[in-house]
């Protein structure tokens, strides 16, 4: 999974730089931080609901949505995935 998240984060950063037409990710960046954070909140709620009462497949789907939107929020703020990884490593002690 580590490689997948890093690959996805790089794609998100590229969409932020290039803002290609027709890209959902680029559209999120164009709409700004409030919209990005709103999507993180929506997806967090949907993930909680899916984990509470949904099927395993629904929980996986919603978790993927949440992770994606969280990566967009991090990229929007210029927070590198490695910085989060370092914090997690620090907490493992």
Q: What is the CATH number of the domain that holds 78?
A: 1.10.287.1080
Q: What is the pLDDT of residue 42?
A: 98
Q: In this predicted structure, what is the pLDDT of residue 86?
A: 95
pLDDT at 77 over 70: yes
How many structural domains are present in the chain?
Answer: 1
| Domain boundaries, position 54 | 2-91
pLDDT digits (tens, 9 = 90+) for 47-58: 999 999 989 999
Span 16-30, mean pLDDT?
A: 98
pLDDT in tens, 56-75: 999 999 999 999 999 999 99
Q: Cα separation of 11 and 17, whole Å?
A: 10
CA 65 to chain centre: 7
């Amino acid at each position: 999974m580590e490689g997948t998240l890093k690959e996805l984060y790089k794609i998100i950063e590229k969409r932020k730089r290039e803002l290609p037409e027709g890209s959902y990710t680029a559209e999120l960046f164009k709409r700004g931080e409030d919209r990005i954070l709103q999507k993180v909140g929506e997806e967090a709620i949907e993930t909680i609901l899916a984990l509470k009462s949904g099927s395993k497949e629904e929980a996986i789907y919603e978790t993927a949505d949440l992770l994606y939107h969280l990566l967009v929020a991090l990229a929007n703020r210029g927070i590198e995935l490695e910085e989060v990884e370092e914090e997690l490593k620090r907490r493992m002690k």
